[in-house]
Structure 1
């Protein structure tokens, strides 16, 4: 059975005081809670791992550089992330692809760097509003899967997160039928490339305006194994119902 994962991406939000939300979240989670991951800003990684130690919540970073070290002012390597005690790193988020012009090849290199450091790579894919309107979603997803996923992917070193860009932070959510179509397509593509033994076990997350009031609907999809949540993960009271909905799915 594939593991379920509720992942929270805090983006550029939070200070040390925000880490109190981790203990509050633990108190609100059901006994049958799935795996829970919080990805705070890089300056909080050390303290987040300390704060999460007694909660069972995993900590991840929001990005990494493809190189292990070097003259890359302002960047952070996967090895540095691992040194904080973190277990995961998000790569290829749409905000990185758009604002920093990161391409599939960059995402693939970052995923390989994450693996080399012993981290699980949360590889993000998703189509733009223009591609969605032009009914090019599956073509875009196929291309991103081919270009962003390195050889050697396994169910222990990779999570794939589908985030339709037009739904992130907009309040717009695809219909259940649209979510099912894309996630089934992704599952088929990774099984075709990596084989059923690996492809069947890779967790697939949905992301894009996931809220407490729509989470149960989203988790009805057979190939949705969890969620990558933005704003609703900042507060325990908002994230806990999403975790509970995933646990009950």
Structure 2
């Protein structure tokens, strides 16, 4: 039985001091034995978040990392820098990274491989635009993203990964894919993993839904056979995040 994983993507919000205050506020609200809980915070806030989360069930993740360990890459964050702080998870290939910072399927693959090399669990993002959904190519597009992202990844590594399906048209818009739409794509992702690896790997990997997840929508979404939690944006900065984590 796969354990639910609920991750908050804070994006470019909160200073280090504000991070401490928010972690302390959310700590009692997200206490859970049934869900893994991850706060993916801005890089500059990671040390403060890790210190504030000590003694709780909260894991701290990064929102991005580079695929080299050192070098002339001004402004980038290396994986060993993250592990040295105690980071357990990293979001890779979020649609905002792809859209605003020119990330490609190939750079996503390089980051996924490097994350595994350093023992960091990647939260691999995929998802289609509204135009792609209207053109009927959602499944084909997402399958391509997944296949390239997992090139060179072993089955044992893949079993520990997290995939976040986020329809781009639902991120920050208040629009949520219907439960049927979300389940359909998450099921297709699991079937794709089974094709690339085997059924045991597909059964083990955890697939999140993301895109305007709320306390109201979480119970129905997370109850689907192929949805194992959520990657939550704006709602992860509010007390309601506790209701999403404890959705049952």
Deviates more, 1:62-71 or 1:189-198: 189-198
Secondary structure of the corresponding residue to residue 169 of structure 1: coil
Across the two proteins, how many residue pairs are aligned to each other? 245
- Whether the 8 Å CA contact 2:19–2:48 is kept in 1: the answer is no
How many angstroms does 1:203 deviate by? 0.5
Matches within 5 A, 1:104-183: 104-150=105-151, 151-153=153-155, 154=157, 157-183=160-186
Gaps (5+ residues) in structure 2? Answer: none
How many angstroms does 1:67 deviate by? 0.7
- d(CA) in 2 for partners of 1:11 and 1:132? 25
Aligned residue number for residue 192 of structure 1: 195
Aligned residue number for residue 211 of structure 1: 214
Secondary structure of the corresponding residue to residue 163 of structure 2: strand
Aligned residue number for residue 4 of structure 2: 4
How many angstroms does 1:221 deviate by? 1.2
Matches within 5 A, 1:6-155: 6-15=6-15, 16-29=17-30, 31-150=32-151, 151-153=153-155, 154=157
How many angstroms does 1:123 deviate by? 0.5
Gaps (5+ residues) in structure 1? Answer: none
- d(CA) in 2 for partners of 1:210 and 1:225? 13
- d(CA) in 2 for partners of 1:24 and 1:155? 34
- Whether the 8 Å CA contact 1:119–1:157 is kept in 2: the answer is no
Query: Alignment partner for residue 246 of structure 2, among 233, 244, 247?
Result: 244
Secondary structure of the corresponding residue to residue 200 of structure 1: helix
TM-score normalised to structure 2 length: 0.95
- d(CA) in 1 for partners of 2:105 and 2:218? 29
Secondary structure of the corresponding residue to residue 146 of structure 1: helix
TM-score normalised to structure 1 length: 0.95
